[in-house]
Structure 1
Amino acid sequence: MKSIIITGAGSGLGKELAFLYGQQGFHLILIGRTLEKLKAVESQIRAMNGHADSFVLDITDQTAIQTFMDGIRGRFHLYGLINNAGVGHFGPFENIAPSEMKEMLATNVLGPLYLSQALLPSLVEEKEGFLMNIISTAGLKGKVNEAGYVTSKFAIRGLTESLQKEYEHTDVKIKAVYMGGMDTPFWDFNDHIKDKSRLRSPAKIAEMIVARMDEDTIIIE
Protein backbone atom coordinates (compact mmCIF):
# COMPACT_ATOMS: atom_id res chain seq x y z
CA MET A 1 0.00 0.00 0.00
CA LYS A 2 1.32 3.42 -0.97
CA SER A 3 1.87 5.89 1.87
CA ILE A 4 1.43 9.66 1.87
CA ILE A 5 3.03 11.82 4.55
CA ILE A 6 0.95 14.84 5.62
CA THR A 7 2.30 17.47 8.01
CA GLY A 8 -0.07 19.49 10.15
CA ALA A 9 -2.47 16.55 9.88
CA GLY A 10 -4.18 17.02 13.24
CA SER A 11 -6.64 19.67 12.07
CA GLY A 12 -7.76 21.90 9.23
CA LEU A 13 -6.70 21.20 5.67
CA GLY A 14 -4.22 18.50 6.63
CA LYS A 15 -6.94 16.50 8.34
CA GLU A 16 -9.36 16.88 5.43
CA LEU A 17 -6.74 15.86 2.88
CA ALA A 18 -5.96 12.80 5.01
CA PHE A 19 -9.63 11.79 4.95
CA LEU A 20 -9.85 12.11 1.16
CA TYR A 21 -6.63 10.26 0.40
CA GLY A 22 -7.61 7.60 2.91
CA GLN A 23 -10.82 7.05 0.95
CA GLN A 24 -8.72 6.60 -2.18
CA GLY A 25 -6.88 3.68 -0.64
CA PHE A 26 -3.67 5.35 0.46
CA HIS A 27 -2.03 4.76 3.81
CA LEU A 28 -1.59 8.04 5.68
CA ILE A 29 1.44 8.97 7.76
CA LEU A 30 0.08 11.75 9.96
CA ILE A 31 2.62 14.24 11.32
CA GLY A 32 1.98 17.01 13.82
CA ARG A 33 2.85 18.45 17.20
CA THR A 34 -0.02 17.03 19.27
CA LEU A 35 -0.41 13.26 19.42
CA GLU A 36 -3.97 13.44 20.76
CA LYS A 37 -5.18 15.34 17.67
CA LEU A 38 -3.32 13.04 15.30
CA LYS A 39 -4.75 9.94 16.97
CA ALA A 40 -8.27 11.36 16.65
CA VAL A 41 -7.76 11.75 12.89
CA GLU A 42 -6.17 8.32 12.69
CA SER A 43 -9.18 6.77 14.47
CA GLN A 44 -11.60 8.44 12.06
CA ILE A 45 -9.65 7.15 9.07
CA ARG A 46 -9.59 3.64 10.49
CA ALA A 47 -13.34 3.87 11.21
CA MET A 48 -13.79 4.45 7.46
CA ASN A 49 -11.77 1.27 6.77
CA GLY A 50 -8.70 3.32 5.95
CA HIS A 51 -5.13 2.99 7.11
CA ALA A 52 -3.10 5.53 9.05
CA ASP A 53 -0.30 5.94 11.59
CA SER A 54 0.51 8.99 13.71
CA PHE A 55 3.87 10.51 14.60
CA VAL A 56 4.84 13.58 16.60
CA LEU A 57 7.72 15.29 14.83
CA ASP A 58 9.43 18.67 15.04
CA ILE A 59 9.74 19.51 11.35
CA THR A 60 12.19 22.33 12.12
CA ASP A 61 14.73 19.79 13.43
CA GLN A 62 16.70 18.32 10.51
CA THR A 63 18.29 15.60 12.64
CA ALA A 64 14.91 14.50 13.98
CA ILE A 65 13.53 14.40 10.43
CA GLN A 66 16.39 12.24 9.19
CA THR A 67 15.94 9.83 12.11
CA PHE A 68 12.21 9.70 11.42
CA MET A 69 12.68 9.05 7.71
CA ASP A 70 15.22 6.32 8.37
CA GLY A 71 12.67 4.66 10.67
CA ILE A 72 9.72 4.67 8.27
CA ARG A 73 11.52 4.07 4.99
CA GLY A 74 11.67 0.32 5.56
CA ARG A 75 8.17 0.06 7.02
CA PHE A 76 6.12 1.84 4.39
CA HIS A 77 5.99 2.28 0.63
CA LEU A 78 6.56 6.02 0.54
CA TYR A 79 4.70 7.64 -2.34
CA GLY A 80 3.91 11.25 -1.46
CA LEU A 81 4.57 14.18 0.84
CA ILE A 82 2.17 17.05 1.53
CA ASN A 83 3.93 19.92 3.29
CA ASN A 84 0.88 21.48 4.90
CA ALA A 85 2.00 22.58 8.38
CA GLY A 86 2.36 26.32 8.81
CA VAL A 87 2.26 29.17 11.30
CA GLY A 88 1.49 32.85 10.87
CA HIS A 89 1.97 36.06 12.84
CA PHE A 90 0.29 39.19 11.56
CA GLY A 91 0.31 42.92 12.14
CA PRO A 92 2.38 45.98 11.18
CA PHE A 93 5.82 45.11 9.88
CA GLU A 94 7.66 47.07 12.58
CA ASN A 95 5.85 45.07 15.26
CA ILE A 96 6.91 41.61 14.11
CA ALA A 97 9.05 40.13 16.89
CA PRO A 98 12.28 38.35 15.95
CA SER A 99 10.97 35.19 17.60
CA GLU A 100 7.83 35.31 15.45
CA MET A 101 9.82 35.70 12.25
CA LYS A 102 12.14 32.86 13.22
CA GLU A 103 9.17 30.61 13.95
CA MET A 104 7.55 31.35 10.58
CA LEU A 105 10.75 30.81 8.63
CA ALA A 106 11.57 27.62 10.53
CA THR A 107 8.12 26.05 10.18
CA ASN A 108 7.00 27.40 6.80
CA VAL A 109 10.33 27.19 4.96
CA LEU A 110 12.91 24.99 6.68
CA GLY A 111 10.35 22.30 7.57
CA PRO A 112 9.26 21.68 3.96
CA LEU A 113 12.85 22.02 2.76
CA TYR A 114 14.19 19.44 5.22
CA LEU A 115 11.35 16.97 4.62
CA SER A 116 11.54 17.31 0.84
CA GLN A 117 15.29 16.81 0.85
CA ALA A 118 14.91 13.71 3.01
CA LEU A 119 12.16 12.08 0.91
CA LEU A 120 12.84 13.02 -2.72
CA PRO A 121 15.71 10.55 -3.26
CA SER A 122 13.39 7.68 -2.31
CA LEU A 123 10.67 8.86 -4.70
CA VAL A 124 13.18 9.22 -7.53
CA GLU A 125 14.48 5.73 -6.84
CA GLU A 126 10.94 4.33 -6.88
CA LYS A 127 10.26 6.25 -10.13
CA GLU A 128 6.88 7.47 -8.90
CA GLY A 129 5.22 9.76 -6.41
CA PHE A 130 4.61 13.41 -5.68
CA LEU A 131 5.56 16.27 -3.42
CA MET A 132 2.95 18.95 -2.72
CA ASN A 133 3.61 22.24 -0.98
CA ILE A 134 0.60 24.05 0.47
CA ILE A 135 1.67 27.66 0.00
CA SER A 136 -1.41 29.98 0.07
CA THR A 137 -2.01 33.09 -2.01
CA ALA A 138 0.45 34.84 0.32
CA GLY A 139 3.04 33.25 -1.95
CA LEU A 140 1.65 35.08 -4.98
CA LYS A 141 1.35 38.69 -3.83
CA GLY A 142 2.23 41.02 -0.99
CA LYS A 143 -0.39 41.78 1.64
CA VAL A 144 -0.86 44.45 4.29
CA ASN A 145 0.08 43.36 7.82
CA GLU A 146 1.43 40.05 6.50
CA ALA A 147 5.01 40.97 5.60
CA GLY A 148 6.65 38.23 7.66
CA TYR A 149 4.17 35.56 6.64
CA VAL A 150 4.36 36.54 2.97
CA THR A 151 8.15 36.42 3.15
CA SER A 152 8.02 32.80 4.28
CA LYS A 153 5.50 31.88 1.60
CA PHE A 154 7.46 33.54 -1.21
CA ALA A 155 10.45 31.49 -0.05
CA ILE A 156 8.57 28.20 -0.27
CA ARG A 157 7.21 29.26 -3.65
CA GLY A 158 10.79 29.71 -4.83
CA LEU A 159 11.73 26.30 -3.49
CA THR A 160 8.75 24.66 -5.20
CA GLU A 161 9.32 26.29 -8.59
CA SER A 162 13.00 25.36 -8.45
CA LEU A 163 12.19 21.73 -7.61
CA GLN A 164 9.66 21.61 -10.45
CA LYS A 165 12.48 22.46 -12.84
CA GLU A 166 15.09 20.26 -11.17
CA TYR A 167 12.87 17.17 -11.11
CA GLU A 168 10.97 17.70 -14.38
CA HIS A 169 12.90 14.88 -16.07
CA THR A 170 12.01 12.39 -13.33
CA ASP A 171 8.77 10.54 -12.59
CA VAL A 172 8.21 12.57 -9.41
CA LYS A 173 5.62 15.33 -9.66
CA ILE A 174 6.23 18.56 -7.73
CA LYS A 175 3.02 20.48 -6.99
CA ALA A 176 2.24 23.93 -5.61
CA VAL A 177 -1.10 24.89 -4.06
CA TYR A 178 -2.02 28.55 -3.65
CA MET A 179 -5.33 29.10 -1.85
CA GLY A 180 -6.94 31.90 0.13
CA GLY A 181 -7.77 31.83 3.82
CA MET A 182 -9.82 28.96 5.21
CA ASP A 183 -12.03 28.65 8.26
CA THR A 184 -9.55 26.67 10.36
CA PRO A 185 -7.93 26.85 13.83
CA PHE A 186 -5.07 28.73 12.11
CA TRP A 187 -6.93 31.98 12.90
CA ASP A 188 -7.84 31.14 16.48
CA PHE A 189 -4.69 32.73 17.91
CA ASN A 190 -4.87 36.12 16.19
CA ASP A 191 -7.43 38.71 15.12
CA HIS A 192 -6.14 39.22 11.58
CA ILE A 193 -9.42 37.89 10.14
CA LYS A 194 -12.35 38.96 12.27
CA ASP A 195 -15.15 37.35 10.23
CA LYS A 196 -14.31 33.75 9.34
CA SER A 197 -17.79 33.11 7.96
CA ARG A 198 -16.70 34.38 4.53
CA LEU A 199 -13.93 31.81 4.31
CA ARG A 200 -14.19 28.44 2.59
CA SER A 201 -14.13 25.32 4.72
CA PRO A 202 -10.95 23.20 4.67
CA ALA A 203 -13.07 20.25 3.52
CA LYS A 204 -14.11 22.17 0.39
CA ILE A 205 -10.54 23.27 -0.33
CA ALA A 206 -9.32 19.69 0.11
CA GLU A 207 -11.89 18.47 -2.40
CA MET A 208 -10.75 21.08 -4.91
CA ILE A 209 -7.10 20.14 -4.47
CA VAL A 210 -7.68 16.41 -4.90
CA ALA A 211 -9.88 17.03 -7.95
CA ARG A 212 -7.03 18.97 -9.59
CA MET A 213 -4.16 16.63 -8.77
CA ASP A 214 -3.20 16.44 -12.43
CA GLU A 215 -2.11 20.11 -12.28
CA ASP A 216 1.37 21.09 -11.12
CA THR A 217 0.21 24.52 -9.98
CA ILE A 218 -3.21 24.77 -8.31
CA ILE A 219 -4.54 28.27 -7.62
CA ILE A 220 -7.74 28.57 -5.57
CA GLU A 221 -8.70 32.21 -5.01
Structure 2
Amino acid sequence: MKTIIITGAGSGLGKELALLFSQQRYHVLLTGRSIDKLLTVKREIEDTGGMADFVQLDVQKESDIVKKIEEINKTHTIVGVVNNAGVGHFGPFVHITEKEIIEMLHTNVLGTILMTKTVLPLLEKQGEGLLMNIISTAGLRGKVNEAVYAASKFAVRGFTESLQKEYANSSIKIKAVYMGGMDTPFWEGSSHVADSSRFRSPKEVAEIIMEQIEHDSIIIESKKS
Protein backbone atom coordinates (compact mmCIF):
# COMPACT_ATOMS: atom_id res chain seq x y z
CA MET A 1 0.00 0.00 0.00
CA LYS A 2 1.26 3.47 -0.86
CA THR A 3 2.10 5.78 2.03
CA ILE A 4 1.47 9.50 2.19
CA ILE A 5 2.96 11.59 5.01
CA ILE A 6 0.96 14.43 6.54
CA THR A 7 2.63 16.86 8.92
CA GLY A 8 0.61 18.58 11.62
CA ALA A 9 -1.89 15.75 11.33
CA GLY A 10 -3.14 15.76 14.90
CA SER A 11 -5.96 18.25 14.36
CA GLY A 12 -7.59 20.72 11.98
CA LEU A 13 -6.89 20.53 8.27
CA GLY A 14 -4.12 17.95 8.65
CA LYS A 15 -6.51 15.56 10.38
CA GLU A 16 -9.27 16.06 7.80
CA LEU A 17 -6.88 15.53 4.88
CA ALA A 18 -5.58 12.38 6.57
CA LEU A 19 -9.11 11.01 6.79
CA LEU A 20 -9.81 11.75 3.13
CA PHE A 21 -6.54 10.31 1.85
CA SER A 22 -7.17 7.15 3.88
CA GLN A 23 -10.54 6.81 2.16
CA GLN A 24 -8.68 6.78 -1.15
CA ARG A 25 -6.80 3.69 0.04
CA TYR A 26 -3.58 5.38 1.01
CA HIS A 27 -1.72 4.27 4.09
CA VAL A 28 -1.43 7.56 5.99
CA LEU A 29 1.56 8.37 8.13
CA LEU A 30 0.52 11.00 10.67
CA THR A 31 3.24 13.25 12.06
CA GLY A 32 3.13 15.93 14.71
CA ARG A 33 4.30 16.78 18.21
CA SER A 34 1.35 15.46 20.25
CA ILE A 35 1.24 11.69 20.47
CA ASP A 36 -2.23 11.76 22.07
CA LYS A 37 -3.71 13.71 19.15
CA LEU A 38 -2.01 11.54 16.54
CA LEU A 39 -3.24 8.37 18.25
CA THR A 40 -6.80 9.71 18.26
CA VAL A 41 -6.65 10.41 14.50
CA LYS A 42 -5.10 6.98 13.84
CA ARG A 43 -7.97 5.28 15.65
CA GLU A 44 -10.54 7.36 13.77
CA ILE A 45 -9.02 6.34 10.44
CA GLU A 46 -8.94 2.69 11.44
CA ASP A 47 -12.54 2.84 12.65
CA THR A 48 -13.56 3.81 9.10
CA GLY A 49 -11.59 0.98 7.53
CA GLY A 50 -8.42 2.90 6.69
CA MET A 51 -4.79 2.29 7.58
CA ALA A 52 -2.62 4.73 9.50
CA ASP A 53 0.44 4.97 11.67
CA PHE A 54 1.97 7.91 13.46
CA VAL A 55 5.41 9.29 14.23
CA GLN A 56 6.23 12.05 16.68
CA LEU A 57 8.27 14.47 14.60
CA ASP A 58 9.69 17.98 14.90
CA VAL A 59 9.80 19.48 11.40
CA GLN A 60 12.29 22.10 12.61
CA LYS A 61 15.00 19.48 13.14
CA GLU A 62 16.60 17.97 10.03
CA SER A 63 18.27 15.15 11.97
CA ASP A 64 14.90 14.06 13.39
CA ILE A 65 13.25 14.19 9.95
CA VAL A 66 16.00 12.28 8.15
CA LYS A 67 16.24 9.56 10.80
CA LYS A 68 12.51 8.91 10.94
CA ILE A 69 11.87 9.10 7.19
CA GLU A 70 14.71 6.63 6.62
CA GLU A 71 13.11 4.24 9.12
CA ILE A 72 9.70 4.58 7.50
CA ASN A 73 11.11 4.07 4.01
CA LYS A 74 12.46 0.64 4.99
CA THR A 75 8.96 -0.79 5.36
CA HIS A 76 6.69 1.54 3.38
CA THR A 77 6.53 2.98 -0.13
CA ILE A 78 6.38 6.74 0.38
CA VAL A 79 4.53 8.35 -2.53
CA GLY A 80 3.86 11.81 -1.17
CA VAL A 81 3.98 14.38 1.58
CA VAL A 82 1.53 17.06 2.66
CA ASN A 83 3.41 19.89 4.40
CA ASN A 84 0.65 21.16 6.65
CA ALA A 85 2.41 21.91 9.95
CA GLY A 86 2.42 25.62 10.72
CA VAL A 87 2.16 28.23 13.45
CA GLY A 88 1.01 31.83 13.52
CA HIS A 89 1.45 34.77 15.87
CA PHE A 90 -0.48 37.93 15.11
CA GLY A 91 -0.58 41.55 16.13
CA PRO A 92 1.23 44.82 15.36
CA PHE A 93 4.63 44.01 13.89
CA VAL A 94 6.59 45.92 16.55
CA HIS A 95 4.97 43.78 19.27
CA ILE A 96 5.93 40.41 17.75
CA THR A 97 8.70 38.87 19.83
CA GLU A 98 11.92 37.36 18.57
CA LYS A 99 10.78 33.97 19.87
CA GLU A 100 7.54 34.23 17.88
CA ILE A 101 9.40 35.30 14.74
CA ILE A 102 11.82 32.38 14.99
CA GLU A 103 9.02 29.89 15.65
CA MET A 104 7.08 31.00 12.57
CA LEU A 105 10.08 31.00 10.26
CA HIS A 106 11.46 27.72 11.55
CA THR A 107 8.14 25.86 11.45
CA ASN A 108 6.47 27.37 8.40
CA VAL A 109 9.49 27.86 6.15
CA LEU A 110 12.34 25.69 7.38
CA GLY A 111 10.04 22.81 8.32
CA THR A 112 8.47 22.74 4.85
CA ILE A 113 11.86 22.95 3.13
CA LEU A 114 13.48 20.26 5.27
CA MET A 115 10.58 17.80 4.92
CA THR A 116 10.57 18.36 1.16
CA LYS A 117 14.34 17.97 0.90
CA THR A 118 14.13 14.62 2.66
CA VAL A 119 11.13 13.17 0.79
CA LEU A 120 11.72 14.44 -2.76
CA PRO A 121 14.68 12.14 -3.48
CA LEU A 122 12.42 9.17 -2.65
CA LEU A 123 9.81 10.41 -5.11
CA GLU A 124 12.50 11.01 -7.74
CA LYS A 125 13.68 7.42 -7.33
CA GLN A 126 10.15 6.17 -7.95
CA GLY A 127 9.65 8.58 -10.84
CA GLU A 128 6.36 9.90 -9.49
CA GLY A 129 4.71 11.29 -6.38
CA LEU A 130 2.81 14.12 -4.71
CA LEU A 131 4.11 17.15 -2.85
CA MET A 132 1.39 19.37 -1.42
CA ASN A 133 2.28 22.53 0.49
CA ILE A 134 -0.48 24.05 2.61
CA ILE A 135 0.35 27.74 2.44
CA SER A 136 -2.45 30.26 3.25
CA THR A 137 -3.92 33.25 1.48
CA ALA A 138 -1.34 35.16 3.56
CA GLY A 139 1.06 33.88 0.92
CA LEU A 140 -0.90 35.71 -1.78
CA ARG A 141 -1.31 39.14 -0.21
CA GLY A 142 -0.12 41.03 2.83
CA LYS A 143 -2.51 41.44 5.75
CA VAL A 144 -2.75 43.79 8.71
CA ASN A 145 -1.14 42.38 11.86
CA GLU A 146 0.29 39.42 9.94
CA ALA A 147 3.62 40.82 8.70
CA VAL A 148 5.91 38.00 9.79
CA TYR A 149 3.31 35.28 9.25
CA ALA A 150 2.75 36.57 5.70
CA ALA A 151 6.51 36.76 5.16
CA SER A 152 6.81 33.08 6.08
CA LYS A 153 3.98 32.14 3.75
CA PHE A 154 5.34 34.24 0.86
CA ALA A 155 8.60 32.32 1.33
CA VAL A 156 6.81 28.97 1.05
CA ARG A 157 4.95 30.26 -2.00
CA GLY A 158 8.24 31.14 -3.71
CA PHE A 159 9.71 27.78 -2.74
CA THR A 160 6.69 25.90 -4.10
CA GLU A 161 6.42 27.85 -7.36
CA SER A 162 10.13 27.31 -7.99
CA LEU A 163 9.79 23.55 -7.47
CA GLN A 164 6.78 23.49 -9.77
CA LYS A 165 8.99 24.90 -12.52
CA GLU A 166 11.89 22.61 -11.63
CA TYR A 167 9.70 19.50 -11.80
CA ALA A 168 7.39 20.67 -14.60
CA ASN A 169 8.49 17.86 -16.92
CA SER A 170 8.35 15.10 -14.32
CA SER A 171 5.59 12.91 -12.91
CA ILE A 172 6.04 14.45 -9.46
CA LYS A 173 2.98 16.62 -8.90
CA ILE A 174 3.60 19.71 -6.80
CA LYS A 175 0.56 21.51 -5.39
CA ALA A 176 0.21 24.89 -3.69
CA VAL A 177 -2.84 25.33 -1.46
CA TYR A 178 -3.80 28.85 -0.39
CA MET A 179 -6.66 28.83 2.11
CA GLY A 180 -8.02 31.56 4.32
CA GLY A 181 -8.69 31.27 8.04
CA MET A 182 -10.57 28.20 9.24
CA ASP A 183 -12.78 27.56 12.22
CA THR A 184 -10.19 25.78 14.38
CA PRO A 185 -8.51 26.16 17.81
CA PHE A 186 -5.67 27.90 15.90
CA TRP A 187 -7.27 31.20 16.95
CA GLU A 188 -7.69 30.40 20.64
CA GLY A 189 -6.02 32.98 22.86
CA SER A 190 -5.70 35.41 19.97
CA SER A 191 -7.60 38.68 19.55
CA HIS A 192 -6.75 38.70 15.86
CA VAL A 193 -10.01 36.96 14.91
CA ALA A 194 -13.08 37.84 16.92
CA ASP A 195 -15.39 35.12 15.57
CA SER A 196 -13.82 32.17 13.76
CA SER A 197 -17.23 30.50 13.36
CA ARG A 198 -17.78 32.57 10.21
CA PHE A 199 -14.91 30.68 8.58
CA ARG A 200 -15.08 27.41 6.69
CA SER A 201 -14.51 24.25 8.72
CA PRO A 202 -11.32 22.22 8.17
CA LYS A 203 -13.52 19.40 6.82
CA GLU A 204 -15.00 21.69 4.16
CA VAL A 205 -11.56 22.99 3.17
CA ALA A 206 -10.16 19.46 2.96
CA GLU A 207 -13.03 18.38 0.73
CA ILE A 208 -12.44 21.33 -1.61
CA ILE A 209 -8.74 20.49 -1.80
CA MET A 210 -9.46 16.90 -2.77
CA GLU A 211 -12.01 18.01 -5.34
CA GLN A 212 -9.44 20.31 -6.95
CA ILE A 213 -6.35 18.16 -6.41
CA GLU A 214 -5.56 18.05 -10.13
CA HIS A 215 -4.89 21.80 -10.05
CA ASP A 216 -1.36 23.03 -9.39
CA SER A 217 -2.70 25.98 -7.39
CA ILE A 218 -5.77 25.78 -5.17
CA ILE A 219 -7.19 28.98 -3.66
CA ILE A 220 -9.89 28.73 -1.00
CA GLU A 221 -11.12 31.92 0.64
CA SER A 222 -12.17 31.80 4.27
CA LYS A 223 -15.81 32.87 4.01
CA LYS A 224 -18.39 30.13 4.11
CA SER A 225 -20.23 29.44 0.91
* TM-score clears 0.5: yes
Map of 1:111-150 to 2, 5 A cutoff? 111-150=111-150
User: What is residue 151 of structure 2 aligned with on the other side?
Assistant: 151
Q: Partners of 1:189 and 1:27 in 2: how far apart?
A: 35
Give the letter for the 2:139 counterpart: G
Distance, in Å, in 2 between the alignment partners of 1:191 and 1:11 is 21
Shift of 1:154: 0.3
Please list every run of at least 4 consecutive aligned residues from structure 1 whose deviation after the TM superposition is greater than 4 angstroms.
none
Residue correspondences, number: 221
Q: How does 1:42-191 map to 2 (within 5 A)?
A: 42-191=42-191
Distance of 1:152 and 1:201 partners within structure 2: 23
Unaligned ranges ≥5, structure 1: none
Q: How far apart are residue 196 of structure 1 and its match?
A: 1.1
For residue 108 of structure 2, what is the amino acid of its counterpart? N
Q: What TM-score do you get using the length of structure 2 for normalisation?
A: 0.97
Report the equivalent of 2:26: 26
Q: Report how far residue 189 of structure 1 moved.
A: 3.2
CA distance in 2, matches of 1:91, 1:83: 25
1:212 aligns to what? 212
Which letter does structure 2 place at the counterpart of 1:147?
A: A
Q: CA RMSD of the aligned region, Å?
A: 0.7
Render the CA deviation track for 1:144-177: whole Å, top value 9, x for unaligned. 0000100100000010001101111211011000
Cα shift at 1:53: 0.3
Q: TM-score, normalised by structure 1?
A: 0.99
Deviation per CA, 1:2-26: give whole Å up to 9, x if none: 1110001000000000111111100
Shift of 1:140: 0.2
* Structure 2 unaligned residues grouped into runs of 5+: none
Residue identity (%):
56
Please state whether the residue corresponding to 1:28 is helix, strand or coil: strand
Distance 1:68 1:54 in 2: 11
Map of 2:194 onto structure 1: 194
1:128 maps to a residue whose letter is E
